[in-house]
Amino acid sequence: MNAFAFTRADSVAGALRAAGGDAKFVAGGTTLVDLMKLGVENPTTVIDISRMPLAGVSRMPDNGLQIGALARNADVAHHPDVVNGYPVLSQALLAGASAQLRNMATTGGNLLQRTRCVAFRDTAMACNKRSPGSGCAAIGGFNRNLAILGTSDRCIASHPSDQNVALTALEATVQISGPKGERSVPIGDFYLLPGDTPERETVLEPGELVTSVTVPPPAPGAKSAYLKLRDRASYEFALASAAVVAIVRGGTIERVRIAMGGIGTKPWRNLEAEAALHGKPATAEQFAKAAQIVLSDAKPQSQNGFKVELAKRCLIAALTTVTQGA
Ligand SMILES: Cc1cc2nc3c(=O)[nH]c(=O)nc-3n(C[C@H](O)[C@H](O)[C@H](O)COP(=O)(O)OP(=O)(O)OC[C@H]3O[C@@H](n4cnc5c(N)ncnc54)[C@H](O)[C@@H]3O)c2cc1C
């Protein structure tokens, strides 16, 4: 690990003052410290934000929920308002990592965690995300766990988070503070596709800090669930996952939001698939049509063709669970 300066911020203003250059914020440290040890991230300054007062989870005037950037994943997963109002988020968080990691990991750190692509994490391998212009060892290499949607000829790294898939289905908004002031970004606009610049993963500008995530009030009658498929039952990233939030009345789908994980270069939402389900009976046939739409643009790599069928089955099973309460 390279030498670096360490400083601690007690307030948002203090964190923003300390930020700049290649400085990095550290919250729970469960991603950043690993990547520094591997030589993938080499900040010259690390700003500890973990003691700032941003760990609250509170109701907003519109009955939505505000989750502080420093709220621990475990605390959010077990918060009564999350368990009761947003089961999809609680389930997604509890499907992630291990109990120890969830006790450290924060909402903001989870939003900004980096890909688990082997080429990205191994500095001996070519990776356009880590070292722009160096190539991509994962294309034609070890890509079993990587993306089949949203890829480019520069990068096929999959987005690793479970939390962010649930937040996408819940249409969350990310609150940001930075040198130019405060702004809010819908989560659907927060993540960038790799295109020609895979090193840019989000719309965050240098020195900007995520302060909280807000989630709209639960729609009356909505049910939700998260299904994660992976190589082992715990402590493993998703091969495919699905977050579904739906209102079904009299067997008809009135409203549905779908996001998928494990298969995309960012949390994957497909508005066409949602539109195809609106007003339709909640049947296996309709779910299969929606799954077909989501996967129609899939571009499997040399080792991950199995994800196309796996993801379809994942989505169909999640839709079945939510709409039929099975
Ligand atoms: C073994 C292992 C297994 C895992 N399995 C899973 C899994 O199955 N599913 C899953 O979803 N995740 C998994 N994770 C990832 C884990 O969820 C993340 O490491 C964690 O959420 C990151 O949160 P943190 O607070 O520790 O982030 P940190 O490591 O502190 O920070 C991560 C990044 O976010 C930036 N950052 C942090 N907070 C802010 C902020 N408020 N504003 C701006 N930038 C910020 C940091 O600068 C850094 O770049 C796993 C991790 C490990 C080590």
Per-residue tens of pLDDT for the chain, all 326 residues: 889 999 999 999 999 999 988 999 999 999 999 999 999 999 999 999 999 999 999 999 999 999 999 999 999 999 999 999 999 999 999 999 999 999 999 999 999 999 999 999 999 999 999 999 999 999 999 999 999 999 999 999 999 999 999 999 999 999 999 999 999 999 999 999 999 999 999 999 999 999 999 999 999 999 999 999 999 998 999 999 999 999 999 999 999 999 999 999 999 999 999 999 999 999 999 999 999 999 999 999 999 999 999 999 999 999 999 998 54
Q: Which of 6, 16, 25, 210 to mutate to test the pocket of ligand 1 (most atoms within 8 A of CB)?
A: 25
What residues does ligand 1 touch, defined as CB less than 6 Å away? 24-32, 34, 69, 73, 96-97, 101, 104-106, 108-110, 112-113, 160-163, 209-210, 237
> What distance in Å separates the CA atoms of residue 54 and residue 75, rounded to the nearest whole number?
13
pLDDT (0 to 100) of residue 139: 98
pLDDT (0 to 100) of residue 324: 87
> Could you tell me the sign of the dihedral formed by the alpha carbons of 61, 62, 67, 68, in that order?
negative
At 95, give phi and psi (nearest 5°). -80, -10
Residue with tokens 């994962």: 138
pLDDT (0 to 100) of residue 134: 98
pLDDT (0 to 100) of residue 326: 40
DSSP three-state, residue 77: helix
pLDDT (0 to 100) of residue 325: 59
How buried is residue 142: exposed, middle or buried, by Cβ count under 10 Å (0-12/13-18/19+)?
Answer: middle
> Could you tell me the sign of the dihedral formed by the alpha carbons of 130, 133, 134, 136, in that order?
positive
DSSP string covering 138-192: TTTSS-TTS-SBS--SS--PPP--SHHHHHHHTT-EEEEEETTEEEEEEHHHHB-
Closest to 149 in 3D by CA, of 12, 296, 281: 296
Query: Relative to the CA of 41, which ligand 1 atom is closest?
Result: 49
Strand partners, 256: 246
Nearest alpha carbon, ligand 1 atom 38 = 109
Domains of the chain, CATH where assigned:
5-50 (3.30.43.10), 223-324 (3.30.390.50)
Nearest alpha carbon, ligand 1 atom 48 = 32
pLDDT (0 to 100) of residue 82: 98
As a dihedral over the C-alpha atoms of residue 187, residue 193, residue 194, residue 200, rounded to 10 degrees, the angle is: -30
Q: Which segments within the chain are labelled E, that is strand?
A: 5-8, 24-26, 45-48, 57-59, 65-68, 173-178, 181-186, 209-215, 223-229, 240-249, 252-261, 268-269
Strand partners, 258: 244
Instruction: Report how far ligand 1's centroid is from the alpha carbon of 113 (Å).
Output: 4
Nearest alpha carbon, ligand 1 atom 47 = 25
Instruction: Report how far ligand 1's centroid is from the alpha carbon of 164 (Å).
Output: 11
Instruction: Report how far ligand 1's centroid is from the alpha carbon of 104 (Å).
Output: 9
Query: Relative to the CA of 211, which ligand 1 atom is closest?
Result: 41
Instruction: Report how far ligand 1's centroid is from the alpha carbon of 287 (Å).
Output: 33
What value, to the nearest 5°, has the Cα angle with vertex 37 and ends 33 and 43?
65
Instruction: Report how far ligand 1's centroid is from the alpha carbon of 108 (Å).
Output: 8
